Homo-oligomer: A and B are copies of this chain.
């Protein structure tokens, strides 16, 4: 993977700033709508380009929860996600690590297992 030198950009900075303390896993569209308040001329393309960069750099997580759009999570330390099957909201789950399931999986696979992604699902407290 080629790592090109990044230059500062106020737009990227604003995206990072917006994401920083979110725990609601916004989509690119939501990021766009919010960063737009500060930079009315920013374009959706720029938002996508930067979210892609940040995700490649490992500064944000991409979450594919099957609801068509990608969601983004600024929390990159180990944690899991819960997805409500009613309202499609995505919640953080700060639980003990279950990385040992990689070992369990290794026993049944000839490739090389490097990690896993687990999404828990059910009804969130507002929907049950």
- Determine which of B64, B104, B109, B123 lies in contact with A111 in the assembled complex, contact meaning CB atoms within 8 Å: B123
CA distance A96 to B100 in the complex (A): 13
Tell me which residues across on chain B come within 8 A of A82, comparing CB atoms.
105, 109, 111, 113
Tell me which residues across on chain B come within 8 A of A114, comparing CB atoms.
85, 121-123
Q: Are B112 and A128 in contact, CB atoms less than 8 angstroms apart?
A: yes
- Determine which of B64, B91, B113 lies in contact with A120 in the assembled complex, contact meaning CB atoms within 8 Å: B113
The A91-128 residues at the B interface (CB cut-off 8 A) are: 91, 93-96, 98, 101-102, 104-105, 107-125, 127-128
Q: Are B95 and A111 in contact, CB atoms less than 8 angstroms apart?
A: no
Q: Are B93 and A105 in contact, CB atoms less than 8 angstroms apart?
A: yes
Secondary structure type dominating chain A contacts:
mixed
Given A64-B64, A65-B64, A111-B91, check contact A102 B120 (CB 8 Å). Answer: yes
A80 contacts partner chain B, Cβ-Cβ < 8 Å: yes
- Chain B residue at minimum C-beta to C-beta distance from A98: B101
CA distance A115 to B93 in the complex (A): 14
- Determine which of B105, B112, B125 lies in contact with A123 in the assembled complex, contact meaning CB atoms within 8 Å: B112
A62 contacts partner chain B, Cβ-Cβ < 8 Å: yes
